[in-house]
Structure 1
């Protein structure tokens, strides 16, 4: 059954910038709700990002382990990074893969794009699989400290089952990549 969603839209009335940082911005919007009342929405603006599942010739997957300050934990995840202004997602994926893992991909396939937390952020992450990898020099940003690790698909499935990989973008990317 097809149905119009016009009865769900919120009309923006005002928008106030609250914070502008290095990575994100925060704004407060006043909206007209479908019932005619007004509401307030706090929105985190993000430039977008990419995440890559790098597959080696023998079918192993390269993951990165790093400390994530907001959750105060070291986690295992697929290589990822934010888009630079004007940068295309595919170019960003190739750049981030080389920076974080030291590999260059001769084959890059887009899996999909996902909204990470649409309840309060416009962040979109473009997910890729990288194959036909060639070793290069790892060049992390000067404030990034990353360990690169290699796992078989069976090991990754076990780690997911035991909660050792709990990063949402990584879980979606790995599942869509057939891991």
Structure 2
């Protein structure tokens, strides 16, 4: 039975009455939470996956959209969870004691071999990759300049790094050849930022 009364967040506080650690590895804690709200809804084994190194505001990772000379760089990497290769922007965890920009510079170099200066980085804001399960936020960046080197590190499943022009990338997105959350969110926010710049400075478009 449902009520016609509009219920706000303040009317239904959510309480975690118990948390059980199910398992952990070097990167994550996996919990089962017993969760109850004031209306009587209850879940006894709500799954929460929490990265171990969570910073302020639950920032646990970074993702970088490389944009160089009107092209976007993507890595092709095998993801065991979906048993398929995926085209993605580089992303990874923020290491302990590392600030987010330093983490973004490091991840970009490690996964692509691209060296970029901090002055070329701009924030695209934050996303929650899966707010129903992951206790994590990721800081999105765009790196609008850089140069390629041979310093890319080996990573499980990482096969190549390639640049695509804007139209080619959007065609891949339309055909669902790009499905990665970080990539889709970063590209959307980058295009919105571009549109805002053009609106603010129409003579520069």
TM-score by length of 2: 0.78
When the two chains are superposed, the root-mean-square deviation of aligned CA atoms in Å is 1.9
Q: Secondary structure at the match of 1:110?
A: strand
Q: 1:54 aligns with which of 66, 76, 89?
A: 66
Q: Secondary structure at the match of 1:71?
A: coil
State the Cα distance separating 1:37 from its structure 2 match.
5.7
State the Cα distance separating 1:53 from its structure 2 match.
0.6
Q: 1:77 aligns with which of 65, 88, 109?
A: 88
Q: Secondary structure at the match of 2:20?
A: strand
Q: 1:65 aligns with which of 76, 93, 99?
A: 76
Does residue 102 of structure 1 match 2:113?
Answer: yes
Does residue 24 of structure 1 match 2:28?
Answer: yes
Q: 2:168 aligns with which of 139, 155, 159?
A: 155
Does residue 91 of structure 1 match 2:102?
Answer: yes
Does residue 15 of structure 1 match 2:16?
Answer: no
Q: 1:35 aligns with which of 39, 46, 63?
A: 39
The runs of 5 or more residues in structure 1 that have no matched partner are none
The runs of 5 or more residues in structure 2 that have no matched partner are 1-6, 54-59, 195-205
State the Cα distance separating 1:176 from its structure 2 match.
1.1
The answer to whether the Cα contact below 8 Å between 1:100 and 1:146 also exists between their aligned partners in 2 is no
1:127 and 1:68 mapped to 2: Cα distance? Answer: 21
TM-score by length of 1: 0.89
Does residue 117 of structure 1 match 2:130?
Answer: yes
* Bigger mean CA offset, 25-34 vs 63-72: 25-34
Q: Secondary structure at the match of 1:176?
A: helix
Which residue in 2 is equivalent to 1:136?
Answer: 149
Q: Structure 2 vs 1, CA of residues 157 and 37 (structure 1 numbering), >3 Å: closer, same or farther?
A: closer
State the Cα distance separating 1:38 from its structure 2 match.
4.4
1:74 and 1:120 mapped to 2: Cα distance? Answer: 23
Q: Structure 2 vs 1, CA of residues 9 and 105 (structure 1 numbering), >3 Å: closer, same or farther?
A: farther
Q: Rg: which structure is higher? A: 2
Which residue in 1 is equivalent to 2:57?
Answer: none
- Pick the structure with more helix per residue: 2
